[in-house]
């Protein structure tokens, strides 16, 4: 039996932001190098009640997903503390972790009391302010912060205020944001409308800066000529923004990478302690700086595991052969590196080239950079192609599935659509096997009823309690399938390689499809109920005139096809007016119901029975044998007599009946036959009165 691999739970919010994306990539890279399993539980912010827009469609229900981390298959926790507590602070995260079984834990980004954490060393905002004041002479500076309850936002605001005081300056304004681009756009729009034009805007993260840049440029302000702009995080968007964004590299990739290493050390029984990863100011065009290699830190970069020793090469290389061997060796490493790892390599090489003992050694190091850039460009092309394919696949899948949302065979069509068009390494676990949303899901392993394994095509009860049923070195994402107050289950994605934004898109797509199928089923039930009400008589539950004519025509068509005849029967109550007049309409309704039930007793289920109105009923019955209905009509009379006696009412319910034999092949219409039956009914009523 294979020894179980250590499995660690990364507890994060949706990976549709640059910071969360860097954390995900760093943690995934470390897990692969260490040979362990990583499960990213993608929930939501804790108690995000202040900003309805940020609640999205998962609300607080999404946080219940983290309960899956209590599984015995999870060996350690990696909470992304700052993001999880973005709106209500870190207290709830601390309380939640206290409820989990005690296991190795490393907090990412923000420390929690009594737990090991990996955090940024300093926050870089002070260096940003120093640079703006000392190099660019800025005095009118606006700060756009993050959510007040967020610990990172508090640190960055405090650092900004302290740096401003050190230069004996007062902020032009401090605006309260929430780290989102949309809120930043609103804040800058309002600032400009007030005519308060700053020399520089310092933003608490890159998304905020990008939102600010959008409004500044729309309003005709040039960056950096009119307004200098800075961010925080050093995201991919910061590098690609026009002009490129001066920002603080918060080392989210390295922090997450190191966090996985530390939680694994704890699992192995080795002592660990909290660590801090340096942050650095990255100078780019948005502050007006043009520095060669401005995206490189001047401090020594963080080392990567399992890499060639550049220092040894710098000390010992003495021949062209050694230089070539080094270049070939390091270029092979690039082939397997992620974009974030390539960034670290680039920094390390440039740093080493500046410290080289000779120009030849420096040149040899820099000659490696074209190969690095070629790999990075290849990554970008591959990512673009993958993104296009994934988007097209998701579109094709949803089009295939949405073509038929009927309940019968839906899960089979869902799996087939995903198999044909989307990454097949998916599992869907649903709370209800009938596809209904769960009103109050617990997100426990035993709370799921149905498993859909896209890769294998399996559809049935969940096959094990771990929910991951594999023991290979893998990286998983687990996301809740929640839309508003509809909770359907979870989506599991194995070895996700496409852009993280598509992961959230896939979750939303599947949730929308499940919700649409649920709504379609409800609509079908409603339509069926409306149709039933449209053809049923409210008092008796029998067919009304419309239903009688519809089903009667179907029975006539079958008789025409089978070359058989029908009996068309009319009946009504004798003396209903006297019952209504003497005992009230409730008694009259009771008598009508007695007759209706007696007709059901006397005729067969295949016969069509309906109420034409008042106390008048019609029946279309298949004629068999001698083609006589005398026995059937006698059963009706006896059933009505029994019901009347059993009711103990002072009146007796009786009926007159008339019927005719109808051969649909003779060309006569049903209304014509009903008219003849009505004549026979009148004769029977007259006969009964004369007795």
Neighbours of 386 (CB within 10 A): 15
Angle separating helix axes 630-647 and 585-602, nearest 10 degrees: 140
**pLDDT for the residue 293:** 37
- Report CA-CA distances (Å) from 372 to 21, 304, 343: 22, 16, 9
76-79 β-sheet, strand order: 76-79, 7-12, 37-42, 475-483, 486-494, 426-430, 450-453, 459-460
**pLDDT for the residue 294:** 37
The 10s digit of each residue's pLDDT in 415-451 is: 888 877 776 688 989 998 888 888 777 787 778 999 9
The CA radius of gyration of the chain, in Å to the nearest whole number, is 38
The pairing of strands 475-483 and 566-573 is unpaired
Taking the C-alpha atoms of 57, 252, 23 and 343 in order, what is their torsion angle to the nearest 10 degrees? 120
**pLDDT for the residue 340:** 64
Bridge partners of 480? 490
Query: Would you say 654 and 615 are in contact if contact means Cβ atoms under 8 Å apart?
Result: no
Query: Would you say 452 and 431 are in contact if contact means Cβ atoms under 8 Å apart?
Result: no
The 10s digit of each residue's pLDDT in 531-544 is: 777 788 989 999 99
Distance CA 170, CA 289 (A): 24
* 46-60, 299-313, 478-492, 513-527: range with lowest mean pLDDT: 46-60
Q: Among positive and negative, which fits the CA dihedral 470, 426, 377, 207?
A: negative
pLDDT at 205 over 70: yes
User: What are the sequence ranges of the domains in the chain?
Assistant: 125-252, 383-532, 537-690
**Which burial class, exposed, middle or buried, applies to 7 when counting CB atoms under 10 A from its CB (0-12, 13-18, 19+)?**
buried
What number of residues does the chain have?
691
The 10s digit of each residue's pLDDT in 347-380 is: 777 777 777 767 777 777 777 788 787 877 777 6
| Chain mean pLDDT for the chain | 83
pLDDT band per the 50, 70, 90 thresholds, residue 59: very low
**pLDDT for the residue 318:** 56
pLDDT at 658 over 80: yes
Query: Would you say 429 and 449 are in contact if contact means Cβ atoms under 8 Å apart?
Result: no
pLDDT band per the 50, 70, 90 thresholds, residue 311: low
Residue predicted with more confidence, 520 or 549: 549
pLDDT band per the 50, 70, 90 thresholds, residue 57: very low
pLDDT band per the 50, 70, 90 thresholds, residue 314: low
Work out the average pLDDT over 298-310. Answer: 47
The 10s digit of each residue's pLDDT in 114-149 is: 899 999 886 689 999 999 999 999 999 999 999 888
Name residues whose C-beta falls within 8 Å of residue 649's C-beta, 6 or more positions apart in sequence: 583, 587, 590
pLDDT at 319 over 80: no
Distance CA 530, CA 527 (A): 5
Compute the C-alpha angle 301/306/307, nearest 5°: 55
* 368-372, 399-403, 490-494, 645-649: range with lowest mean pLDDT: 399-403
Model confidence pTM above 0.85:
no
Work out the average pLDDT over 593-611. Answer: 94
SS3 sequence of 602-629: HCCCCCEEEEEECCEEEEEEECCCCCCC
pLDDT band per the 50, 70, 90 thresholds, residue 456: confident
* 150-154, 302-306, 502-506: range with lowest mean pLDDT: 302-306
Choices 3.40.50.2000, 3.40.50.300, 3.40.50.2300, 1.10.3720.10: CATH for 125-252: 3.40.50.2300
**pLDDT for the residue 105:** 95
pLDDT at 657 over 50: yes
Query: Would you say 45 and 13 are in contact if contact means Cβ atoms under 8 Å apart?
Result: yes
Most confident of 9-23, 159-173, 279-293, 308-322: 159-173
**pLDDT for the residue 426:** 87
- In three-state secondary structure terms, 585 is helix
pLDDT at 308 over 60: no
Query: Would you say 346 and 387 are in contact if contact means Cβ atoms under 8 Å apart?
Result: no
**pLDDT for the residue 366:** 78
pLDDT band per the 50, 70, 90 thresholds, residue 278: confident
Q: What class has domain 383-532?
A: alpha beta
**Terminal-residue alpha carbon distance, the chain:** 93
pLDDT band per the 50, 70, 90 thresholds, residue 410: confident
**pLDDT for the residue 315:** 54
Query: Would you say 255 and 119 are in contact if contact means Cβ atoms under 8 Å apart?
Result: yes
pLDDT band per the 50, 70, 90 thresholds, residue 681: very high
pLDDT at 301 over 50: no
Phi, psi of 482, deg, nearest 5 = -130, 135
Distance CA 14, CA 44 (A): 7
Calculate what percentage of the chain has a pLDDT beyond 90. Answer: 38
Angle separating helix axes 18-34 and 339-354, nearest 10 degrees: 80
pLDDT band per the 50, 70, 90 thresholds, residue 659: very high
**pLDDT for the residue 249:** 86
- In three-state secondary structure terms, 118 is strand
Distance CA 602, CA 598 (A): 6
Distance CA 308, CA 328 (A): 11
**Which burial class, exposed, middle or buried, applies to 294 when counting CB atoms under 10 A from its CB (0-12, 13-18, 19+)?**
middle
Bridge partners of 536? 543
Work out the average pLDDT over 95-105. Answer: 90
Calculate what percentage of the chain has a pLDDT beyond 70. Answer: 86
**pLDDT for the residue 290:** 55
141-145 β-sheet, strand order: 173-176, 141-145, 200-203, 228-230
Q: Which CATH architecture has domain 537-690?
A: 2-Layer Sandwich (3.30)
**pLDDT for the residue 300:** 42
Name residues whose C-beta falls within 8 Å of residue 335's C-beta, 6 or more positions apart in sequence: 375
Work out the average pLDDT over 35-50. Answer: 77
């Amino acid at each position: 039996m294979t020894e179980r691999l250590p499995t660690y739970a990364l507890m994060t919010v949706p990976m549709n932001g640059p910071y969360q994306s860097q954390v995900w990539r760093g943690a995934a890279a470390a897990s692969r190098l260490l040979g362990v399993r990583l499960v990213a539980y993608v929930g939501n912010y804790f108690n995000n009640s202040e900003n309805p827009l940020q609640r999205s469609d998962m609300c607080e229900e999404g946080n219940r997903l983290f309960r899956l981390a209590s599984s015995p298959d999870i060996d350690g926790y990696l909470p992304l503390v700052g993001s999880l507590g973005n709106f209500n602070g870190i207290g709830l995260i601390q309380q939640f972790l206290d409820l989990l079984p005690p296991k190795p834990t490393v907090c990412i980004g923000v420390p929690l009391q009594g737990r090991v954490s990996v955090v940024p060393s300093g926050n870089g905002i002070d260096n940003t302010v120093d640079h703006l004041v000392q190099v660019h002479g800025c005095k009118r500076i606006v700060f756009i912060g993050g959510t007040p309850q967020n610990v990172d936002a508090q640190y960055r605001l405090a650092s900004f205020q302290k740096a401003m005081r050190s230069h004996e300056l007062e902020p032009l304004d401090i605006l309260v944001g929430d780290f989102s681009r949309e809120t930043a756009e609103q804040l800058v729009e309002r600032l400009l409308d007030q005519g308060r034009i700053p020399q520089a805007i310092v933003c608490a993260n890159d998304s905020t800066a990008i939102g600010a840049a959008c409004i500044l440029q729309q309003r005709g302000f040039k960056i950096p000529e009119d307004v200098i702009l800075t961010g925080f995080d050093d995201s991919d968007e910061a590098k690609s923004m026009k002009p490129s964004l001066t920002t603080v590299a918060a080392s989210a990739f390295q922090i997450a990478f190191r966090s996985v290493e530390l939680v694994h050390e704890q699992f192995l029984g080795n002592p660990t302690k909290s660590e801090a990863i340096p942050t650095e100011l990255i100078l780019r065009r948005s502050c007006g700086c043009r520095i060669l290699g401005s995206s490189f830190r001047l401090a020594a970069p963080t080392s990567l595991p399992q890499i060639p020793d550049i220092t040894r090469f710098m000390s010992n290389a003495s021949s062209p052969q050694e230089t070539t061997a080094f270049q070939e060796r390091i270029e092979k490493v690039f082939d397997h590196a992620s974009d974030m790892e390539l960034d670290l390599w680039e920094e390390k090489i440039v740093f080493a080239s500046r410290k080289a003992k000779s120009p030849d050694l420096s040149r040899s190091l820099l000659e490696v950079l074209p190969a690095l850039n070629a790999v990075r460009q290849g990554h970008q092309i591959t990512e673009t192609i993958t993104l296009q394919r994934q988007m097209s696949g998701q579109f094709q899948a949803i089009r295939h599935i949405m073509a038929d949302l009927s309940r019968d065979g839906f899960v089979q069509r869902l799996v087939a659509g995903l198999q044909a068009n989307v990454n097949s390494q998916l599992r869907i676990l649903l709370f209800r096997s009938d596809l209904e949303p769960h009103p109050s899901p617990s997100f426990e392993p035993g709370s799921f009823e149905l498993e859909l394994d896209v890769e294998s095509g399996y559809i049935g009860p969940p096959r094990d309690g771990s929910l991951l049923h594999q023991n290979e070195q893998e990286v998983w994402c687990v996301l809740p399938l929640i839309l508003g107050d509809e909770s359907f289950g979870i989506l599991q994605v194995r070895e996700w390689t496409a852009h993280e934004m598509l992961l959230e898109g896939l979750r939303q797509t599947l949730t929308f499809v499940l919700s649409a199928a649920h709504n379609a089923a409800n609509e079908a039930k409603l339509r069926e109920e409306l149709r039933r009400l449209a053809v049923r008589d409210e008092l008796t539950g029998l067919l009304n005139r419309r239903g009688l004519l519809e089903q009667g025509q179907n029975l006539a068509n079958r008789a025409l096809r089978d070359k058989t005849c029908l009996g068309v029967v009319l009946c009504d109550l004798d003396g209903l007016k006297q019952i209504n007049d003497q005992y009230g309409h409730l008694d009259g309704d009771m008598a009508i119901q007695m007759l209706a039930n007696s007709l059901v007793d006397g005729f067969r289920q295949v016969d069509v029975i309906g109420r034409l109105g008042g106390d008048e009923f019609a029946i279309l019955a298949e004629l068999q044998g001698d083609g006589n209905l005398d026995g059937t009509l006698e059963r009706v009379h006896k059933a009505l007599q029994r019901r009347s006696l059993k009711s103990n009412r002072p009146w007796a319910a009786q009926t007159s009946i008339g019927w005719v034999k109808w051969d649909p092949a003779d060309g006569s219409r049903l209304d014509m036959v009903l008219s003849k039956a009505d004549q026979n009914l009148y004769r029977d009523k007259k006969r009964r009165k004369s007795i």
